[in-house]
Amino acid sequence: MIKRAVLFASVISMFAGAAHASDLNVASVTANVPFEFEDGSGNLVGFEVDLVNLIGERTGKKINYTQMPFNSIFATVQSGRADIAIGTVTITDKRLESVAFTQPYYDADACLTTSSKGDVKSLKDLNGKVLAVVTGTTGEMWATENKDKYGITEINRYDGVSEPMLDIATGRVAAFVHDCPIDAYYIKDKPQYAIVDTIPTNEQFAIMLAKDSPLLPELDAVISKLKEDGEIARIHEKWFGSAPAKDSSTVAVRPIPGK
């Protein structure tokens, strides 16, 4: 298990020294269940944590994690303070202009989550409502692009998942648009919340690197081998309780995006 990672405030000090070639410095999004989060003992765990740890084993690299808000991982990777970033980062054409991605390993859509006792039952009920999103995510992009279409009065932006969920409970926001697997995992034992609609965004999650990172071919090749060996499928079963579809990005080897 990986012991409690340092907070974002210490990112600069952690990466201040020259990294050893055998180290892999990882920017990880804070409290992003079930992909990366701290368990009850303060250990960093999750789907993507297991994946990166396997990559470390296959490459012989020591993994160093640093947690931070989603919107901070981009500058951290681009500046070289981290070698890679994880945090259910969706591959987009816009992002490919400034960063690189490995092949995807998880497919997802976005979901609309709200109070199970509220009056929002679908996207059409967002008219006149305040909507929550996580800053920098594709959920924020969708909300910005569709604000007028659905009559959303205001978009509240947050650093993570727990804060908008709390604001749903207190009535400060009506609903939250975010990645389906994250919302579903978060609310699985919280009957006060409900997922009421799905937005077919066809997202693919991957490891993010600097635009011209020399690590890309090596890491992508390891991901291909982990898929072929069934290792990523086993991680999926561990965290989601079911086998991934055989034609999903969790199982099928994909090309490097933009190559």
> Which residue ranges make up each domain of the chain?
8-105+206-240, 109-202
* Predicted pLDDT at 1: 44
Q: What is the model's pLDDT at position 62?
A: 98
Q: Is the pLDDT of residue 12 over 70?
A: no
Sheet containing 99-101: which strands, arranged edge to edge?
62-68, 23-29, 84-86, 208-210, 99-101
CA–CA separation, 172 and 162 (whole Å): 14
Instruction: Please say if the pLDDT value at position 56 is more than 70.
Output: yes
Q: How much is the pLDDT for 11?
A: 42
Q: Which residue has the tokens 């202009």?
A: 97
Q: What is the pTM of this model?
A: 0.89
Which DSSP state fits 191? T
pLDDT at 21: 66
Q: What angle do CA 63, 51, 252 make, to 5 degrees?
A: 145
Q: What's the whole-number mean pLDDT along residues 62-88?
A: 98
pLDDT in tens, 119-147: 999 999 999 999 999 999 999 999 999 99
Q: What is the third-level CATH fold of 109-202?
A: D-Maltodextrin-Binding Protein; domain 2 (3.40.190)
Condensed to tens digits (0 to 9), the pLDDT of residues 156-209 reads 999 999 999 999 999 999 999 999 999 999 999 999 999 999 999 999 999 999
Residue 77 confidence class, pLDDT cut points 50, 70, 90: very high
How large a percentage of the chain has pLDDT more than 70? Answer: 92
Q: Is the pLDDT of residue 8 over 50?
A: no
Quote the pLDDT of residue 76. 99
In CATH terms, the fold of domain 8-105+206-240 is D-Maltodextrin-Binding Protein; domain 2 (3.40.190)
pLDDT at 14 over 70: no
Tell me the pLDDT band of 3, cut-offs 50, 70 and 90: very low
* Residue 16 confidence (pLDDT) above 70: no
Give the 3-state secondary structure of residue 256.
coil
Which residue's structure tokens are 């297991």? 50
Q: Do the Cβ atoms of 110 and 178 come closer than 8 Å?
A: yes
Mean pLDDT, the chain, rounded, equals 94
d(CA 5, CA 149): 41
How much is the average pLDDT of 55-74? 98
Q: What percentage of the chain carries pLDDT values higher than 90?
A: 91
Q: What residue has token string 């009920």?
A: 125
What single string gives the DSSP state of each residue in 6-19?
Answer: BPGGGHHHHTSSPP
**8-105+206-240 and 109-202: same fold?**
yes
